[in-house]
Amino acid sequence: MIGLLEPHLDSPIVEAAQSITVAGADTAVAAGLGCEQGHPMLRVDRLYSDATGRTVDLSVSYFLPEHYTYRVTLVTSCGCPRRR
């Protein structure tokens, strides 16, 4: 999405704020993903901002939780060397 949008912007996209919540599948989402209406879905919202701080896009995606894993690595800012 960024690759399609960014060439048309005055300033590059530098940030995406993401939130993950649970929402029931509405009629369109259920039809698109082949599940029952009301089925619990993972809803991922991404709010993209450019280098000036201006919001340039909101992306809303739905995922079947039984087919999705979310993994993140959290790193401290201590400046300590990484152990292997």
Query: Is it the case that residue 3 has pLDDT exceeding 90?
Result: no
Average pLDDT over every residue of 21-35: 97
Listed by start position, the domains of the chain span: 2-67
The domain over range 2-67 is classified in CATH as 3.40.1410.10: yes
According to the model, what pLDDT value does residue 24 have?
A: 97
3-state helix/strand/coil string of the chain: CHHHHHHHCCCCEEEEEEEEEEEECCHHHHHHHCCCCCCEEEEEEEEEEECCCCEEEEEEEEECHHHCCCCCCCCCCCCCCCCC
In angstroms, what is the C-alpha Rg of the chain? 17
Q: What is the pLDDT of residues 30-79, one digit of tens each?
A: 999 999 999 999 999 999 999 999 999 999 999 999 998 989 898 888 76
